Amino acid sequence: MPEKTSIKRLAFVTNQTKSGASEVVDRLRAIAEELGVEIRATSEFPVPDGFLDGMDACCVVGGDGTFLSAALESTKWQVPLIGVNRGTLGFLTTYTSEEIESLFPSVLEGEYQIRSRGLLECSAHENHKDLALNDVIIKSPAVSKIVHLNVFANDEFVTTYVCDGLIFSTPTGSTAYTLSAGGPLVHPDSRVISLTPICPHTLSNRSIIFPENVELRVENAYPDEPLLVAVDGQRNLSTKDTPIEIRLSSQSLPIAQKIDYSHFDVVRQKLKWSGGYAGDPS
């Protein structure tokens, strides 16, 4: 068992537009202060640069979008994120607001496990690089306008996609936009990139899973037409500059989860999979 690491300096990121989020933070903050924990708090989005410098952990109270807004700062300073769900599905914010209050004293004392989540590195042009926890989406900035995109994997031509756009997803992001587009569910510990076309005009175009060492390149077959590169649904870049390059980053995001956290328990619950265990589990 890894040695427990107690939390002495804790940051809070609160989405005040989510019902009950501020009240949850007030109660958690009171618990932390009673235990002598140093507190820092913000409701700004994105999280201010340097906000997590010197923190032991960051408690994010809101939805998955709120969690994503803290991902870059968490990665930069390697400060684990504790996600508390006050949104809808909450695949990233895995603690419920009810359970976190009862578990919070033990969490602050080190009762949690750290899991690292892979990130995508996207280079949209020479001077712009970004990191994505969920996905990088390439599409037209115009509504309902198709794009023609040439995709290469380690300089090998894959195909030309004629579609509404392409979703490049991490395993973490496999339960986000790519799930709605018919992409695969991928275990978050995997080191792969999935590519899923959005409404492809060729029905045989399906998702592709690429290995961790792949260097993906996307070229606009009609370079006079602008493209929109969306990173985690948080940051957009309109560009005519291609190629767009995507790879797995050498960096990772630390997430603090319950000791008994189960990815498949979460998937069954959030996606409302029916049916119990058929057979004797012993």
**pLDDT, tens only, 8-47:** 999 999 999 999 999 999 999 999 999 999 999 999 988 9
Domain 9-112+258-270 shares a fold with domain 118-251: no
Q: What is the Cα–Cα distance from 278 to 282, expressed in whole angstroms?
A: 12
Q: Mean pLDDT over residues 224-235, rounded?
A: 93
pLDDT of 73 above 60: yes
Sign of CA dihedral 123, 215, 174, 172: negative
**CATH 3.40.50.10330 assigned to 9-112+258-270:** yes
CB–CB of 170/176 below 8 Å? no
Q: Mean pLDDT over residues 106-125, rounded?
A: 94
Q: Mean pLDDT over residues 136-163, rounded?
A: 96
Q: How confident is the model at residue 3 (pLDDT cuts 50, 70, 90)?
A: low
For residue 87, the model assigns a pLDDT of 72
The answer for residues whose C-beta is within 8 angstroms of residue 239's C-beta and 6 or more apart is: 124, 125, 226, 227, 228, 229
**CATH 2.60.200.30 assigned to 118-251:** yes
Domain boundaries, the chain: 9-112+258-270, 118-251
Which residues are the active-site residues? Answer: 64
pTM: 0.93
